[in-house]
Structure 1
Amino acid sequence: MQQALVTLKVILLSNYINVLLVFVPLGIVAGMLHWNSTLVFVLNFLAIIPLAALLGFATEELALSVGQTLGGLMNATFGNAVELIVSIVALLKGEIRIVQASMLGSILSNILLVLGMCFFAGGLRYQEQSFNQTVAQTMSSLMAVATASLLIPAAFRASVPSDETTELLDLSRGVSIVLLVLYVLYLYFQLKTHADLYSEQESEDDEQEEKTITAWTAGGLLVVITLLVAFCAEFLVDSIDALVAASGISKTFVGLILIPIVGNAAEHVTSVTVAYKNKMDLAVGIAIGSSMQIALFMTPFLVILGWIVGQPMSLYFQTFETAVLFISVLIVNYLIQDGKSNWLEGALLMGVYAIISMAFFLYRPEDGL
């Protein structure tokens, strides 16, 4: 009994964000009792933030018990688990607009807001910081390929105007399969053939790699937190329509700006903290690597899942959205190509994200494909 209490204390004190856990039962109760939709959204919004932090904690603890290779694969798989769960729930409910916006929003928030905050926070303490240029360029190159995979369906739709979406869905599904293959190849590149490129990033984090809970406890925690996230995500998604009707904001803004804040809150804090400690390889790896996982794995996976469950999820995004993504990836590629960063570059990235946020707040695309 005493050991269980010690373990519970370790889990609860793993992150100061866990003080928000009080909103988990409140959010679930609010959803089950059908309280005001805005209140249901806010409560579950706040509830998912600490759950995301605990999910990351459990994944890292379990990864320490299974070895470096499998641990790296687990971190890659579960790194964006909250966004994936929310998106799956939304997809099953036919909220294609929410799914697409949350995927795009997660990419933009990571490569602009998170990376910008990392550069800025580190730059306040150090005049200039360096990071592994080869690793950063590899990930940004994959991001460029993923961006092209969204531009091509948009160009196809513009060139072949038709009310039928069959060809567009076929193209999206084919492209998604290619992207998933590329993601698997990247994992093999990272964990096997070119693992030495990532050794510096791993050695920076060695001082923190001490297990605080057992593998069985971490696995059980992972299951419990995943179920709680699924419950809160369902109530969150169910409340979006009423929230949009009551507030006047668009589904695109909710999915693109608000939902990524939920899933990435703990990850944002971690990235900025390690950047302030001059561990830029780790910070850049988290920010760009997370975006790359969303673009190469999560988005095509959701297209294939939509195919399986009969939902018309495609890689066709609105022209404005694809243009914003293209410009953002281009700017990030320019800033990281020298392998160095400073606070001004961070301010530039945060400024671009602020401009995009304002634009999407006023943006009112038609729902659907």
Structure 2
Amino acid sequence: MSSEATPLLRNGRQNGDAPERLSFTQRLVKTIKAEGEPSWLDSYKWFFFGSYANILLLFVPLSAVAHHSNWDAALRFSFSFIAIVPLAKLLGDATENMSASLGETLAGLLNASFGNAVEIIVGIAALMQNQIRIVQTSMLGSILSNLLLVLGCSFLAAGFERPESVFQVTAAQASSSLMTLACITLVIPAAYNSTMSDVKRGPEEAAEKGLLIISRGTAILLLFVYLAFLWFQLKSHAFLYDRNHQDEEHGSGSQSTASSQHEEQEEEPNMNLPSAALALLVVTVITSFCADYLIASIEETAERYHIPKTFIGLILLPIVANAAEHVTSIWMAMKNKMELTITICVGSSIQIAAFVVPLLVIVGWITGHELTLYFADFETICFFVSVLLVNTLIQDGKSNYMEGLLLVTLYLVIALAFWVS
């Protein structure tokens, strides 16, 4: 064959021949799975068998059987409690893999929506059962758990690996400032209620109506501020969250470090986009049922075994809901990825305070459940001093094991106080 005839051959056919026809199955696979992505089989093989923690999925059917068979309250609570641990991890895995296949903006919105999916599901389940105190304490507990326990353990773990860890101070301060704003929005309703009770002494209905108006208006404003923060973080000031930019600015990073971080950022997803989306949908539905079983068992468990409901909502529920994030944050801190640790701990707290809580207030508004931003005075004080301590410790852009010990100690003191409340 002459060299002039060579270009006539393309993909096994000669120029002028009819294009190669794909079967319906091939066209379908090409549509739902991009070239180079993992197959559906590989995706779900990794999803279900990629971690030993998934063994705990056995408690998912057990929690359903215990609930519908009306077993002892402690068993119903424990089975549902344990079942949510692997489900929380699977939600995080599905969200992470979807984010890897989407653009930066869509990934940010997805993480905002599903980054705290367990908290949202548990909150809505409790709201629909009119367990307003469980909603409030579980949300506040999630914030305190991330700010004090997880961040403190991360600083401790990093302190065992190196004398001092460094992170980008400007981005951390921007996050802590928004956290401070969210804290203030909880102080204002408490101050308003105190003023109405001590000074005006007006009708109780008037005070409750005022709290609803303040809470719902504040919820809308916080959601707007949170969207602005996403734009700040992902678009207008994304360079503040780029470690390579920080190294260039301060002259502290080598080319090898920057290239290795770039390679880590380019890590391929373990699931293709459609399989991750389907997994996210299915796991969300299953988690909603387990959360419903869990909430339904809290009242009887608290009464029968003399466990304060506030302790369950503030300490136990957040620990199980954030179990996967706890492990990830500590692991990243040990690997000296402190910016990622700050993002997980403080960023997750911001999501709850500025996105999840306002969202639940609006859901309660729509469904006729009067959820407000008014927390008990003691809870508001605990939140305020926690944010104050975190802001004090991260403002220098450095951490050590002693700072971690301070955060964990404050968390244990708060847990002890709520145990005896």
Whether the TM-score (by the shorter chain) exceeds 0.5 is: yes
CA distance in 2, matches of 1:116, 1:143: 17
- In the alignment, which residue of structure 2 is the partner of 1:366? none
Contact 2:156 2:405 in 1 (8 A): yes
1:88-107 deviation per Cα after TM superposition (whole angstroms, max 9, x unaligned):
01001100000000010000
2:229 to 177, 186, 192: 186
Instruction: Report the residue type matching 1:294 in the other structure.
Output: I
Instruction: Report the residue type matching 2:47 in the other structure.
Output: I
Alignment of 1:230-249 (within 5 A): 230-249=288-307
Per the TM alignment, residue 15 of structure 1 is displaced from its structure 2 partner at its CA by 3.1
Change (3 A) 1:4 1:293: closer
Per the TM alignment, residue 5 of structure 1 is displaced from its structure 2 partner at its CA by 4.9
2:309 to 227, 251, 256: 251
Q: Secondary structure, in 3 states, of the residue corresponding to 1:11? A: helix
The answer to which of 110-119 and 31-40 deviates more is 31-40
Per the TM alignment, residue 201 of structure 1 is displaced from its structure 2 partner at its CA by 8.4
Per the TM alignment, residue 199 of structure 1 is displaced from its structure 2 partner at its CA by 2.1
RMSD: 1.5
Contact 2:364 2:370 in 1 (8 A): yes
Per the TM alignment, residue 271 of structure 1 is displaced from its structure 2 partner at its CA by 0.3
Contact 1:17 1:266 in 2 (8 A): no
1:338 to 377, 396, 402: 396
1:308-338 deviation per Cα after TM superposition (whole angstroms, max 9, x unaligned):
1111100000000000000000000000000
Alignment of 1:8-23 (within 5 A): 8-23=44-59
Rg bigger for which structure?
A: 2
Per the TM alignment, residue 72 of structure 1 is displaced from its structure 2 partner at its CA by 2.0
Change (3 A) 1:14 1:76: farther
CA distance in 2, matches of 1:201, 1:218: 30
Q: Secondary structure, in 3 states, of the residue corresponding to 1:278? A: coil
1:58 to 69, 89, 94: 94
Alignment of 1:39-188 (within 5 A): 39-161=75-197, 162-164=203-205, 165-188=208-231
Instruction: Report the residue type matching 2:204 in the other structure.
Output: D
Contact 2:165 2:398 in 1 (8 A): yes
Contact 1:48 1:262 in 2 (8 A): yes
Q: Secondary structure, in 3 states, of the residue corresponding to 1:239? A: helix
- In the alignment, which residue of structure 1 is the partner of 2:335? 277
Instruction: Report the residue type matching 2:296 in the other structure.
Output: D
Instruction: Report the residue type matching 1:119 in the other structure.
Output: F
- In the alignment, which residue of structure 2 is the partner of 1:207? 264
- In the alignment, which residue of structure 1 is the partner of 2:373? 315
CA distance in 2, matches of 1:27, 1:256: 22
CA distance in 2, matches of 1:250, 1:309: 28
TM-score, length basis structure 2? 0.83
Instruction: Give the total of aligned pairs.
Output: 361
Note the residue ranges of structure 1 that are not aligned, 5 or more in a row. Answer: 364-369
1:208-261 deviation per Cα after TM superposition (whole angstroms, max 9, x unaligned):
621111111101100110011001001001111111111111211111101101
Contact 2:40 2:272 in 1 (8 A): no
Contact 2:44 2:271 in 1 (8 A): no
CA distance in 2, matches of 1:55, 1:84: 12
The answer to which of 127-136 and 208-217 deviates more is 208-217
Change (3 A) 1:13 1:122: farther
Q: Secondary structure, in 3 states, of the residue corresponding to 2:204? A: coil
1:63-104 deviation per Cα after TM superposition (whole angstroms, max 9, x unaligned):
111122211221122111001100001001100000000010
1:160-188 deviation per Cα after TM superposition (whole angstroms, max 9, x unaligned):
12422111111111111111111111111
Instruction: Report the residue type matching 1:306 in the other structure.
Output: G
CA distance in 2, matches of 1:206, 1:47: 35
CA distance in 1, matches of 2:227, 2:40: 38
CA distance in 1, matches of 2:262, 2:291: 32
TM-score, length basis structure 1? 0.95
Instruction: Report the residue type matching 2:231 in the other structure.
Output: Y
CA distance in 2, matches of 1:4, 1:145: 44
- In the alignment, which residue of structure 1 is the partner of 2:73? 37
CA distance in 2, matches of 1:271, 1:245: 35
Per the TM alignment, residue 9 of structure 1 is displaced from its structure 2 partner at its CA by 2.5
Per the TM alignment, residue 28 of structure 1 is displaced from its structure 2 partner at its CA by 1.5
Q: Secondary structure, in 3 states, of the residue corresponding to 1:160? A: helix
1:329-365 deviation per Cα after TM superposition (whole angstroms, max 9, x unaligned):
00000000000000111011001101000001111xx
1:97-129 deviation per Cα after TM superposition (whole angstroms, max 9, x unaligned):
000000100000000000001100001001100
Q: Secondary structure, in 3 states, of the residue corresponding to 2:372? A: coil
Contact 1:37 1:239 in 2 (8 A): yes
Change (3 A) 1:214 1:5: closer
2:285 to 218, 227, 235: 227
- In the alignment, which residue of structure 1 is the partner of 2:358? 300
Q: Secondary structure, in 3 states, of the residue corresponding to 2:370? A: coil
Change (3 A) 1:207 1:25: same
- In the alignment, which residue of structure 2 is the partner of 1:367? none
Note the residue ranges of structure 2 that are not aligned, 5 or more in a row. Answer: 1-38, 198-202, 246-257
CA distance in 1, matches of 2:51, 2:117: 18
